[in-house]
Every structure is written in C-alpha cells, then in structure tokens.
Structure 1
Amino acid sequence: MSDPDRGPAQEPAEPEAGGAARLRTARPAGRRGLGAALAVIAVVVGAGIWALGPPGGGGADAKHPAAGGPTAVEVSTGSCGRGWSGATAGPQVFALRNTSSTAAEVDLTDPATGAVYGEIEGLAPGTTRELRVVLGGGSYAFKCLPDDADAVTGPTVKVAGARTGGPAAVPVTQHDLIPVALAHQRWITAKTVELTDRTDELKHAVDSGDLDAARSAWLPAHLVYERMGAAYDAFGDADTAINGSGPAPADAASAQDFEGFHRVEYGLWHGESAASLRDHADRLDRAVHALRDSWPQVRLDPAQLGLRAHEILEATAQSELTGRTDYGSGTSLATARANLDGTRELLTLLRPLLATRYPELPRLDTWLDRTGRTLDGFAVDGKWTPLDRLGRQDRQRLNSDIGQTVELLAPVATICDARRTT
C-alpha cells in the first residue's frame, strides 16, 4: 500500500492471509483478509473464533506455539476456565472444551477491565476448539457465556514475563450502540426531508418538459440519497424503488420493472422525451415521499452500524468504481464522494466508542482525508470526470486510496459488533 506521506500511490496489494480471514457478518461476500491490514484483530467466521493480536507468532512448535501443545481448558458454568493455571508470556494455544449441556461463547479477558483478547462463539456441548492468542505478562481469566444463562468468570491466572502482547478491546455492547443509532436516526430523518425537496425539483423539471433542468436536478437529489448509505437495509423495499441498481447499463433499454433514480438517469442521458419520463419521475417521487413519511416508525438496528461503516465504501469499490451503476450521467465519482461523506457521518457518531478501542483510528482519518482530496480533484466547476475518462495514474491512485480506506474500515465492523458481557 502507498503511504499518504510518501510518493505516488500504487495499485493496492492484496492483504496477506495472516492465518485468519473474514468479518463475522450476515453478508460476508467480498470481505477481505484482515491479518496484515490490522495486526490488531483477526476473525474466523466458520469457527466463530476471533483473536486480538498478531496471528501465529512462532514458538517451539509451528502447529502449536505453546511449547507443550495446547492447554486444555473447560467451558461450563461450574468449572469455567479450569485447566489453565499459568504460563509464560508469548503465543498461547488453548483447547477449549464445552463440558456443559448447552452451547456457549467463551472469552479470554482482562478481569480488571473486561478487555477481550480472544473469543470463541457457538461452542456446542461436547466439542473442542482451539483459541490462539499472544499474551503479555499480566492477569487473565476466561469468561463463559452459556446460552440462556448468566456469564461466569473463571479464576484469575497470572502470566509471567514482559507485558507486551497482543492488543485487546473492551467489548461494545448493544447498550453502547443505542445512542449512536438514535442520533443517526435523527440525521437520516433530516436527510429524508432534503431528499424529498430535491426529488420534487427533479419531478417538476420533467413535468414541465425542461430536460436540461432535469439533468441539473438529478445529481443533487441522487447524492442526498447516496449519503444515507448506513440506513439502506432499514429502508426495505423503498431502497429498490428509489435506488435499485437495476440491469447492467448495456441492458437498460430492454429492462422491465426498471425504476428509481437510475431509470430516470438512463432516460435523461439517452435521449428519451420528457413525456416518456414523467411516469418514472412520478414513481420515484412517490417512493421518496413514502420513505420520508414512514421513516419515523422505523428503528435502526444498533448492532449493524459498525458493519455499515465498512460496507458503504466496500460497495463503492465494487459498484461505482467498476461503472456498474452508471446509466449515462458519468457521475460515478460524485456518488463515491457522497458515499465517503456518509461513511464519515457514521464514524463521527461511532468515534467515542472507537477512540479507546481502535489504535489505527488516526491512520483511518488520514486515509479518509486523502481519499476525499483524490475524489474532489475529479470535479471542476461542479462537473465530474466520468470514470472511463480517468488516466491510468489517476485510476491507480483512486483504487489505492479506496482500497486502503476499506481495509482500515474493516476493524470498525468487528470492534462495533455488539457482544454479551453478562
């Protein structure tokens, strides 16, 4: 990856495997490896394991960093953490066995602060999984969180040696995220009003037959919606009606049930008459009004906010930067800029939670600023350079900036994944 303080950006390299892979999410497609990008958090979805700290780490045995192989640890309400009595600082491997009759989550914690060094979730009765962590000198305890029962913290264990080890993060709870969700709900409310006003202007221009005015009104209205990206899932069917990506641009002319901003865009930039666009503009306007009117009854899911902070720009890289959502206006880079604005708005609300949990937050801010400057350089007097007219160097720089920013946003999703503590 390039560095903001160094020379010209290069194409972003693929992250190193690092032994761990994806974010724990219901929408895992497109997730990228976190090992090299973070050196902070690693997550394995299928096994439900995550560990804070560098993966691997060497040791006497390549398979089991602990010199004597994995340490067997019991997971149950009556004997949580039994089997581990101490260690020397460095890589550790624990074989966690659930001896109870119910599934459980188990965390390796700092008993004084609650910070989590590693976690296995969904550990079924009678099963064993390995947890690998790098521990510095200090005090640790396993916390067992069985399904449908209170958490139990095992005995405190002392680890001898230097205090330098893998980082830890205090869990973010649903309670922590509720104020963030409420604040973002209010921000979206204001945006639905602005969106309605802008879309009304677009509809009025089409209705009056002034297609130049309609083309001028289209982008400001569309960008308001694009800045609302963190709430898309809460919009339900309204998102499809307002901003569904529809068919491939080359197939748009023959597509059925193609509506929303992109349908109006296609007509405005492909020579359709105002008369042929009136129904499409009207349906878009009615969908926007319906969203504004229904939004006060919707409640954002607090647990999804961290994930959305990462997904907005990830989707930008997959759609706007590939031309998949350009139906003729050539404004994909303007959309990418609006997506960046939406990401920053959500990060502003999440910042109090991230400030003490994510050491790379200042670096993320640096790359967000850099990406914004890169995108702004493609707009002159309000006119945006079409994606297909970017030179090779500009395209490489943009890909690098977005790619690095997406990498640094990935831990936000993991850190803000609401977790049980009791």
Structure 2
Amino acid sequence: MRRASWQVRLAVLPLAVAAAAASGVALSHSATAGGPIAVRTAGCGTPPPAAGAGRVAFAVTDDTDAFATVYLVDAADRVYAEIPWLTPKHTLPLATTLGAGRYAIRCVLSDGTIHTTSQFSVSGTAPGAVAGYKPLPDLDLTAPVNAYRAWLGTALPKLLAAAQTLDADVARGDLQAAKTDWLTAHLDYERLGAAYNSFGDFDDAIDGTSAGLPDGTADKDWAGLHAIEYGLWHSASASDFRPLTQGLVTSVQGLIEDFPSEEVDPGDLPLRAHEILENTLQFQITAAADEGSGTSLATAYANTEGTQEVLSVLAPLIDDRAPGLRARIGAEIAALQSDLQATRDASGAWTPASAITTAQRRRIDADLDQLLEDLSTIPNLLAPRTNA
C-alpha cells in the first residue's frame, strides 16, 4: 500500500512528455514551432532558426544504436523539456511552452557522447511559459542522502526502544498501556517515510497491513504493528498476540543490523517529498489503513513530520532552484498540522477519521491538496540532469 503511488514520478514531470507517446508521436496541441529532429552519432539535428513564443514541439528520432536522453535547454543550461530515455530507432515528442529567449536541443547518448544543436531564438510572450529547471548533477544528492541516513541512524534505536516497551506491556498483560505504547511505536516508524523502499522485507514485517493477504486479518503470516493493532482493538488476549510483539522486536533489531548495508536511492528523496503525504491522503485521511485503533490522523501528523525531515536535508538544493518554495510549503505543513491537531478531543485523544466533522474534513482536504500541489514540483525540480 505504501508504495502504490510510485506513478507520481511521471505525473509530476510535465517536462518529460515522452511518456505520453510511448508508441509514436501523437501531439494533441498545435505547435508554434518544431519539426523532426534526428539524433545521430555525429550530431543532434537542426531546429528552425526562430519561433514565436508559445507551444513548441519536436519529433525526436534516435537514429543511433545507443539510448539517448534529450533536453531542450537555454543559454544558461536550464531545462525546459526532456525525454529521459529514448530507445534506438524510436521517435518521441519533445514539447513545452517557451517564452522569449535563445534555446537549443541537447542529446546525451548512453555511450557518453553529447551533442548540442545550434541555438534558435524565441520572441514575444506566451501564457503558461515554462520557467525551466536548473540541472542537477547526480553527485549533488550525495550530501542529502548521507544526512538522511545519519538521521535514520538516530531514529531506528528509538523505534527499537518503543517496540521493546510495547512487548513488555503485553508480556505482563497490561493491554491498556500496550495501546498507548503501540501508538508511540507506530508513529516512530511512520516518521521514517522516505526510507521504506530501503528496508526491503523488513517494511512488511514491521508495518504491513492485511490488504492483499489471502486470509485478510486471519492470515497466519500477518505480522508487525498493524497486526498488533488489530489484536489490541479486537479484544484478543495478550497471550494470543505476544508472539507478534516479540516478532516486532526481532524485526526491528534485524533492520538495525541490516541497515548499514541498505542503500537509500538518491532519486527516492525528492520523490518521497511528495509521495509520503500523497499516501497519507489515500490511506490515513480515509482510514483505509486503520486496523481498529482509530488513530490514522495521528499517523497523518507523523507523516507530516517525516516530510519535514526530507525537506530539511534537501533544503540547499531546493533553495538554490526555487527560492521561497520551502517557506511556502512550510506554512502549508503548519496549517495541515493545525487542522489535524484540532481533531483531538478534550483529553488529547485522536478522533477517528470517520468521526471528524464535515468542516474539519473539508479543511484538512483543502490544505492537504494545496500542500501536495506544491510538493509535486520537487521531484521534477531535483530530477538528476547531469549532462543537461
């Protein structure tokens, strides 16, 4: 469930128009300029010398035996459109909306060859002109990944301590304490949102839901925090699910031991900046992942904290490319957190998502939608473009 939204990588890449025509070129808009561009071993074709501001579209064909990445760039090497992966002997569209300036097409072959066409000029103004993206070398993501791994190194022991406390509660039969400490452990895990894909099988062992299991909540292989949640809030006896809390401790210990050998994909961090809260909308705000505790809004709050950590390590790269974006997103996260906190009752307990008022739900939905819209720009903003 947690990984269901990987499709966002294409959904938020307006420059990567190649996905729209995987079987050929099919442009549904009228282009003010463009034409065929042939990628060859000796060059990258020739664009028309001039065009008016507005929509431009090029049908790019790879006439080499190598794969190609194709960019539309300006004189400062900002990227305005791209085909991330063009296979030999295939044609895909390179299209965008341009304002006044001088532009060129750059072709980067998988064998290392780079060609750039002559520049063409665009004059005038056009609504919706793309602002362009500053290229990001792959190695620029090394420092954020290292910083995030260091943060995980401090967070995982806290998760282990919380799991051990939960297990001790169940061992002595104190299920009321176990309910409180279950939530602590669950939120500790949910804050690690950008690392799930780095945890391999440990993710399902620690936090897998019953969705998709052959026997649902009765499946004998179901383990982890959600299985414990189901037992706690469905009147199971401590002896029935003590093996689950023991297994949780073992799984977290195994994750900690294995983590130094696990890799965090640099490309995952910008993607998770959006994806964590996209999944929150799908599974927490709707309570689809709730197994009885009624605390999915607490999980949503933890997810906002996980998003803040990702934004923190990416801060230098974001600020360099989109000044003001983080401040705007920060204010939107604060608004959403306030919305979520407002659903708690007088005792501080979290209200189940199904029981909040219509006004509260509308406020959460509106603020989360706006936040997701701004977060969706980050994967494209920080997509690696080493040779653009």
Same fold by TM-score greater than 0.5? yes
Amino acid in structure 2 at the alignment position of 1:391 = T
CA distance in 2: counterparts of 1:32 and 1:98, whole angstroms: 21
Q: Does 1:46 align with 2:10?
A: no
**Counterpart for residue 421 of structure 1:** 387
Alignment partner for residue 278 of structure 1, among 215, 236, 242?
Answer: 242
Please name the residue that 1:159 is paired with.
Answer: 122
Residue 401 (structure 1) shift: 2.0
Task: Tell me, yes or no, if structure 1 residue 123 matches structure 2 residue 86.
Answer: yes
Q: Deviations over 1:22-81 (max 9, x none)?
A: xxx9964578965xxxxx9454462489xxxxxx9xxxxx84331xx6333332342224
- C-alpha distance in 2 between matches for 1:394 and 1:81: 56
Gaps of 5+ in 2: none
Residue number in structure 2 paired with 1:143: 106
Matched, 1:294 2:294: no
In 2, Cα distance between equivalents of 1:48 and 1:416: 24
**Contact (CA 8 Å) 1:77, 1:144: kept in 2 or not?**
no
| Deviation of 1:379 (Å) | 2.5
Q: Is the 8 A contact 1:310 1:410 kept in 2?
A: yes
| 1:200 to partner: Cα distance | 0.8
User: Deviations for 1:156-210, whole angstroms, at most 9, x for unmatched residues?
Assistant: 3333445994210012232111111110001011110100111111111111121
In the alignment, is the contact (CA less than 8 A) between 1:41 and 1:411 conserved in 2? no
Post-superposition Cα deviations, 1:280-330, rounded to whole Å, max 9, x if no partner, equal: 110111111111122122221111111111111111111112222211211
Partner secondary structure for residue 118 of structure 1: strand
2:54 counterpart of 1:95:
no
Moved segments of 4+, more than 6 Å: none
Q: Distance in 1 between matches of 2:71 and 2:93?
A: 12
Q: What residue is the counterpart of 2:352 in the other structure?
A: 386
The alpha-carbon distance between structure 1 residues 373 and 135, as it changes in their structure 2 partners (threshold 3 A), is same
Instruction: Number of aligned residue pairs: give it.
Output: 378
Query: Corresponding residue for 2:340?
Result: 375
Which piece of structure 1 moves more, 369-378 or 330-339?
A: 369-378
SS in 1 for 2:194: helix
Name which of 384, 397, 422 aligns with 2:363.
397
Whether the aligned pair in 2 keeps the contact of 1:48 and 1:122 (CA below 8 Å) is no
Q: Name the CA shift for 1:85/1:248 in 2 (closer, same or farther; >3 Å).
A: closer
* TM-score normalised by the chain length of structure 1: 0.82
For structure 1, which runs of at least 5 residues remain unmatched after alignment?
1-24, 35-39, 50-55, 57-61
Q: Aligned to 2:296, which of 314, 332, 338?
A: 332
Cα gap change, 1:33 to 1:103, in 2 (>3 Å): closer
Q: Decide whether aligned partners of structure 1 residues 81 and 355 sit closer, same or farther in structure 2, where only a CA change above 3 A counts.
A: farther
Q: Secondary structure at the match of 1:322?
A: coil
Is the aligned partner of 1:303 residue 2:247? no
Structure 2: how far apart are the matches of 1:32 and 1:384? 35
Root-mean-square deviation (Å): 2.7
Name the counterpart of 2:231.
267
Q: Evaluate the alpha carbon distance shift between residue 239 and residue 124 of structure 1 in structure 2; reply closer, same or farther with a 3 A threshold.
A: closer
Counterpart of 2:279, as a letter, is A
Assess, with a 3 A threshold, how the Cα gap between structure 1 residues 30 and 149 changes in structure 2: closer, same or farther: closer
| Shift in CA distance, 255/26, structure 1 to aligned 2, threshold 3 Å | closer
Identity fraction in percent: 35
Q: Determine the C-alpha separation between the residues in 2 that align with 1:26 and 1:258.
A: 19
Q: Match of 1:52? A: none
| Offset of residue 253 of structure 1 | 5.0
8 Å Cα contact 1:104/1:147 also seen in 2: yes
Is 1:233 the equivalent of 2:206?
Answer: no
- The aligned runs of 1:20-59 (5 Å cut-off) are 28-29=6-7, 41-44=14-17, 46-47=19-20
Bigger drift between 386-395 and 88-97 goes to 88-97
Amino acid aligned to 1:349 = V
Partner of 1:363: 328
One-letter amino acid of the counterpart of residue 372, structure 1: Q
- AA paired with 1:285? V
**CA-CA distance at 1:98 after TM superposition:** 2.7
Structure 1 stretch 113-122 or stretch 358-367: which is displaced more?
358-367
- Conserved? CA contact 2:43–2:116, under 8 Å: no
One-letter amino acid of the structure 2 residue matched with residue 299 of structure 1? E
C-alpha distance in 2 between matches for 1:413 and 1:148: 26
